[in-house]
Chains A and B, each alone.
Chain A
């Protein structure tokens, strides 16, 4: 499977990846120049945490080999695709219990603004592209790699 690899030492905290994610998942048409950054309609699936020492840590879904979020999902909304290895989320099925938010050991997940859906990386399958965040990173702190999963 493909995974978005992370080299946190290269991360400058520019947050272009967050913007690209927001743009890829926005509900309205338009370009990045008219993306409403403050609207909670356009929430990012990934995030960058800045540490006190001035360094950064990219927090991105790992599409884990043994995904705890899937193990905790009571509606069948979260599933690991056996072919692609991606951990995908079906909002229509979701029962909004947020057990998955509690069970992702890496604190990747969160409820959306309406508290009815989970914000989860879909590898840009909904946008029909390669992961947008990867293309947006100017430092190659995140990059795609084929891994055995």
Chain B
């Protein structure tokens, strides 16, 4: 059996490991544009010069040898021929497969604002190659513009501040990290970033660009006419699933590659996992999907059931935050806030069940909240002491010594 995996990100690597575990004799071939296996969640540590390419890897150095994987790196899969069961590479080679996994992730989206897409010094931040290009160009830069204050934008801002650049962040919403945090929690980070020298321009959109003769972005004009000078810009305004390789094939896709609960596409020998499948945009889910796809590719039937994806943690300047759920209050919700000098906690309880929780400061032992939310556990009297609830309240142990939840 020959398994071919496109992508060496969270989903691809996790699938490869799973396949190797379950089928010691299988041929495994991986294809990636990436030259280095790297964790995208650590790209800011590369930009800040805290880690080099190798230190971004999330697998051991001998991963491909020990798992007997043939890795075709630095190459792009251009097309999938489901009839011949072959993947076409950018150089024209054809790689035959019995089972194929598309784990191509996503790519940064540059909004069509002014000449943003033409400018040579405007970047997305998704791949190590982006970070490398940004780093090379940043040597002549002083002022950095970040468009978007989501997690990727704030990662980039953090990295440039660490290196002593002047950083301005433009955000459409009236607060930073608007999807993950509420106003209070966002403010806490805003202050820490401002203390590090960051300038925020909130509630504003970039609407025009000023390029010089060499197609370098010199400034951005905001919707209120303000001009923000810059020598380099990172646009963190969202991503699009990397579906191109499947575009002209029988594998069905719309914005994402369509999959069933076994992560199988419209072609039974082709699977998709990770950001490209559109079920999530975070690391843990991509790894889990890779695992599920890997099992199914080996013929072990497994459904992807742990689909909850509205979860995030962040850690800037030693301030940690966990955020689960949408965080939007509707009528009838119980809204609980607990605050002291070091912590801010906010829970939304809907119909007696936890809907969202945000913990900023101490996030110790907070793993249980995800369980309570995704399994929609009725809280009962525990709603009154939601921030003190722990696994001890649901404590049970199986015969093999593993924990399980006892729900009353």
Contact = CB atoms under 8 A, between A and B. Distances in A.
B67 to A, nearest CB: 12
B341 interface: no
B391 A107 contact: yes
Contacts of A4: 401
B322 A71 contact: no
B322 A98 contact: yes
Interface of B is mostly: mixed
Contacts of A59: 365, 390-392
A4 B397 CA distance: 12
Dominant secondary structure of chain A at its interface with chain B: loop
A149 B390 contact: no
Interface in A70-89: 71-76
Instruction: Point out which of B315, B370, B397, B401 has the most chain A C-beta atoms below 10 A from its C-beta.
Output: B401
A57 interface: yes
A64 interface: yes
Interface stretch (A21-29, A108-116, A120-128, A132-140): A108-116
A5 B367 contact: no
Contacts of A51: 392-393
B60 interface: yes
Interface in A40-87: 47, 49, 51, 57, 59, 62, 64-65, 68, 71-76
A104 B369 CA distance: 10
A101 to B, nearest CB: 6
A75 B371 CA distance: 23
Interface in B374-408: 390-393, 395, 397, 400-403, 405
Given A72-B287, A104-B367, A108-B367, 19 more contacts: A5-B397, A8-B397, A57-B392, A59-B365, A59-B391, A71-B284, A75-B41, A75-B42, A76-B59, A97-B313, A98-B315, A98-B320, A101-B364, A102-B369, A107-B368, A108-B391, A110-B365, A145-B401, A149-B400
A94 to B, nearest CB: 10
A91 interface: no
A76 B61 CA distance: 11
Nearest to A56: B392
Size range of the chain B interface in the assembly? 35 or more
B403 A74 contact: no
Contact of B363 (A3, A74, A110, A149): A110
A131 to B, nearest CB: 13
Given A62-B401, A109-B365, A111-B364, A95 B392 contact: no
B109 interface: no
Interface residues of A, number: 44
A35 interface: no
B283 interface: yes
B287 A71 contact: yes
Contacts of B59: 76
Nearest to A69: B367
A74 B392 contact: no
A99 B284 contact: yes
B58 interface: yes
Given A6-B401, A64-B402, A102 B366 contact: yes
Contacts of B108: none
A3 B370 CA distance: 25
Interface of A: 3-6, 8, 47, 49, 51, 57, 59, 62, 64-65, 68, 71-76, 93, 95-99, 101-111, 114-116, 145, 147-149
Given A106-B391, A145-B401, A115 B365 contact: no
Contact of B370 (A57, A96, A102): A102
Given A57-B395, A76-B60, A106 B367 contact: yes
B400 A8 contact: no
Given A102-B370, A145-B401, A74 B58 contact: yes
Given A6-B401, A65-B402, A149-B400, A97 B370 contact: no
B284 A72 contact: yes
B368 A148 contact: no
A100 B39 CA distance: 15
Interface string B296-324: 00000000000000010111001110101
B366 A107 contact: yes
13 contacts: A51-B392, A65-B400, A71-B288, A74-B283, A76-B39, A101-B313, A101-B322, A102-B311, A106-B403, A107-B390, A109-B365, A110-B365, A148-B400
Contacts of B41: 74-75, 95, 97
A114 B397 CA distance: 32
A148 B401 CA distance: 10
Nearest to B284: A72
A73 B288 CA distance: 11
Given A51-B392, A64-B402, A108-B365, A103 B287 contact: no
B87 to A, nearest CB: 27
A105 B393 CA distance: 13
Contact of A74 (B39, B288, B311, B391): B39
Contacts of B60: 76
B395 A62 contact: no
